């Protein structure tokens, strides 16, 4: 066969791109079944591996079906196979899929994406353009979303924050910290334990989330060091009060991002830090074909449903520069997690 | 950081494997939305591309949501981007995703895999080991499955059959052909049109499928050349009657595969051909990490639900050799389609 020099990809190459994505789909569904039914957790208990029969017995599951699942999980490189047909977790899968406190935890993402709130609801609302709100989401979905937010905190505290020049020292010596959109208090709790000399304030628009946070912080004996305030970020008003303002994966959700940035600027002490922890969505369509960008393109489906979109890091940089912050910089912690910061 | 020489993959590498699969999941969901809502079909009509606004208008869909979908479809390499922000189909995606008559058509696979009959039902029945039967599947699912079977016929007739030494000539000169598990008649119809000198018999266990086939063949004026018989493959009984027996993606579903092979051997004329067209599932767990094997590992979930499993090509080769066929050989047409054949 003579092959013409041509930039046009051929059929098998294009088919391969589709098949690779279908293989990924299969892997994700396999992982989610493994997480939901405790298969991965059980396998993780057996360092030397476990046969499909023993696994089925341990979990009271059908052995034939468990065998089919194990083979697909092996194909997805989530399991390895040892002697005597014993499956064990592939390296680091315990941390990546099972340990919600591991900074690189990924297990929450597949669990969120298979929920109907993601692609099914999007498809349903494509004609009308109707939005979805959190109160129409299932408790399972909200829990899953919250789990995907936790690694962002675990990467920031103390790792990400320590990379902001001068900030670590200030937090160690004792500082007044405001967290915007503090949600269920994962960040406040982690920061209060990591920075014992600091005092904290958490602001969130959702009364229910704040009630959960209050209960949680009381349980951890942290209530005296943390104030909670119910307010939208647009209405929050303070002056010269904080050494640092942190907002974690919520800046892209602001209804009026300029107003919020103005509020933060006003709320900071002179030299105070504004730290934005968020997704780094590519600035151009052309940059969307990397693996992290493709994952984030999927997250955009749900963001769209709630009327938001992930933003490029450069947009945060421009925002801070445009509102008089100085020393504005940004860096990536992981391919799906960027930090932008500036000083008043 | 000192890096030890070690075969153990590191965390970012393992995380990358998971993210790549999540990106694939997003791509599949994006493709399915594009197929179901006619987005891909509409884009395919515009050789010079179409803007998201025009696309939304053409299909009466929300322009913001359409923009989110387009960007994800671009990320999945299903769309390309031209001048003036016009999206067009990436090379060959018209054939691969939209043309059910294209031998390499893949568009049916994502549509089957997102149905609840695949992974949701499997997860639900993992504890009990209960099976599913076709009468519990939705009409949408059955249609989608039928669409995924069609490319197998389109690759076989005449391409795959022509690669079996001596068979093409016999079919052109005129032969008596039996198709086992003929289903809705896609294969009989295609063969009757391709090989005008042949006569055909179709056997299937399902009366409803046969009634569809009968109607279809009458509509195509082919009824005089094709006989239909309702029988399980295990009960079918004929002697020395056929030049070729074909079975397409159903051999792995036989309840008693030895009995069926015996029946075929008996039914063939001396020198007659038995041709098995099926998936080439890897013989070993270790061989399951290729892209096609990962796709097939996903198909195994549904196969398991109906009490079947895809089989390795070698198992078909051994089966034919074990039942006295001669000149047994096998070849792959695509990475997910293999042909095994032998002569009486």
Give the per-residue pLDDT at A2: 45
- The answer to the question of residue A226 being in a domain is yes
Give CA separation, B4 vs A89, A99, B16, in Å: 22, 25, 20
- Please tell me the distance from the alpha carbon of residue A251 to that of residue A237, in angstroms, as a whole number: 17
Contact indicator for A326, B97 with CB cutoff of 8 Å:
no
Sign of torsion over alpha carbons A252, A258, A261, A267: negative
- The answer to the question of residue B70 being in a domain is yes
On the question of pLDDT at A1 being above 80, the answer is no
What is the least distance, in Å, from the CA of A279 to any CA of chain B? 14
Q: How many interchain CB pairs under 8 A, A with B?
A: 278
Q: Residue B65 and residue A106: Cβ atoms within 8 Å?
A: no
Sign of torsion over alpha carbons B323, B327, B328, B333: negative
Q: Residue B61 and residue A126: Cβ atoms within 8 Å?
A: yes
What is the least distance, in Å, from the CA of A15 to any CA of chain B? 7
Residues of chain B numbered 261-290 and touching chain A (CB < 8 Å): 285-286, 288-289
Contact indicator for B170, B161 with CB cutoff of 8 Å:
no
- The answer to the question of residue B222 being in a domain is yes
Sign of torsion over alpha carbons A102, A104, A106, A109: positive
More confident residue, B32 or B4: B32
Residues from chain B contacting residue A52 (CB–CB below 8 Å): none
- Please tell me the distance from the alpha carbon of residue A101 to that of residue B209, in angstroms, as a whole number: 54
B292 touches chain A (CB under 8 A): yes
Q: pLDDT tens digits, residue range A204-229?
A: 998 888 998 999 999 999 999 999 99
- A294 closest CA partner among B24, B212, B251, B4: B24
Q: How many domains does chain A have?
A: 2
On the question of pLDDT at A316 being above 80, the answer is yes
Q: pLDDT tens digits, residue range B151-204?
A: 999 999 999 999 999 999 999 999 999 999 998 899 999 999 999 999 999 999
Secondary structure element (H or E) that encloses residue B180, with its range:
strand B176-180
- Please tell me the distance from the alpha carbon of residue B300 to that of residue A162, in angstroms, as a whole number: 48
What is the CB neighbour count within 10 angstroms for residue B132? 17
Domain that residue A78 falls in = 11-98
Q: What is the CATH number of the domain that holds B68?
A: 1.10.10.10
A136 and A221 share one domain: yes
- The answer to the question of residue B108 being in a domain is no
Contacts of B116 (CB under 8 A, 6+ apart): none
- A254 closest CA partner among A276, A274, A284, A273: A276
Residues of chain A numbered 114-153 and touching chain B (CB < 8 Å): 114, 118-119, 122-123, 125-129
B205 touches chain A (CB under 8 A): no
Domain boundary residue, one of B98, B127, B162 = B98
B175 and B272 share one domain: yes
Nearest to B72 among A9, A78, A298 (CB): A298
On the question of pLDDT at B134 being above 90, the answer is no
On the question of pLDDT at A259 being above 50, the answer is yes
Q: pLDDT tens digits, residue range B86-102?
A: 999 999 999 999 999 99
- The answer to the question of residue A162 being in a domain is yes
Q: Helix, strand or coil for residue A15? A: helix
Strands B242-248 and B176-180, bridge-based pairing: parallel
Q: What is the CATH number of the domain that holds A291?
A: 3.40.50.150
- A238 closest CA partner among A264, A206, A199, A270: A264
Secondary structure element (H or E) that encloses residue A334, with its range:
strand A326-334
How does residue A6 score in pLDDT terms, banded at 50, 70 and 90? low
More confident residue, A138 or B257: B257
B175 and B64 share one domain: no
What is the least distance, in Å, from the CA of A105 to any CA of chain B? 9
A62 touches chain B (CB under 8 A): yes
């Amino acid at each position: 066969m003579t092959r013409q020099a041509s930039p046009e990809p051929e059929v098998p190459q294009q088919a391969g791109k589709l098949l690779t994505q279908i293989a990924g789909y299969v892997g994700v569904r396999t992982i989610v079944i493994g997480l939901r039914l405790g298969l991965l957790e059980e396998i993780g208990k057996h360092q030397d591996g476990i046969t499909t029969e023993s696994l089925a017995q341990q979990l009271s599951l059908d052995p034939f079906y468990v065998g089919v699942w194990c083979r697909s999980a092996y194909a997805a490189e989530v399991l390895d196979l040892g002697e005597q047909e014993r499956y064990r977790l592939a390296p680091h899968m315990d941390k990546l899929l099972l340990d919600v406190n591991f900074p690189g935890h990924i297990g929450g993402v597949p669990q969120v994406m298979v929920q109907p709130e993601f692609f099914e609801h999007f498809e349903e609302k494509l004609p009308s353009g109707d939005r979805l709100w959190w109160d129409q989401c299932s408790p399972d979905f909200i829990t899953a979303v919250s789990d995907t937010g936790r690694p962002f905190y675990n990467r920031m505290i103390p790792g990400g924050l320590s990379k902001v020049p001068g900030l670590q020292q200030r937090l160690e010596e004792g500082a007044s910290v405001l967290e915007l959109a503090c949600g269920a208090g994962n960040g406040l709790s982690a920061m209060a334990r990591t920075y014992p000399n600091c005092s904290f304030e958490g602001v969130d628009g959702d009364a229910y989330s704040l009630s959960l946070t209050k209960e949680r912080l009381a349980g951890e004996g942290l209530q005296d060091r943390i104030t909670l305030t119910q307010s939208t970020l647009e209405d929050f008003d303070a002056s010269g009060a904080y050494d640092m303002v942190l907002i974690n994966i919520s800046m892209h959700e602001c209804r009026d991002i300029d107003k919020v940035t103005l509020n933060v600027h006003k709320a900071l002490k002179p030299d105070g830090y504004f730290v934005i922890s968020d997704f780094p969505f590519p600035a151009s369509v052309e940059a969307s074909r990397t693996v992290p960008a493709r994952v984030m393109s999927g997250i955009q489906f749900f963001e769209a449903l709630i009327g938001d979109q992930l933003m490029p890091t450069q947009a945060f940089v421009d925002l801070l520069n445009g509102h008089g912050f100085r020393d504005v910089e940004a860096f990536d912690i992981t391919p799906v997690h960027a930090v932008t910061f500036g000083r008043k």
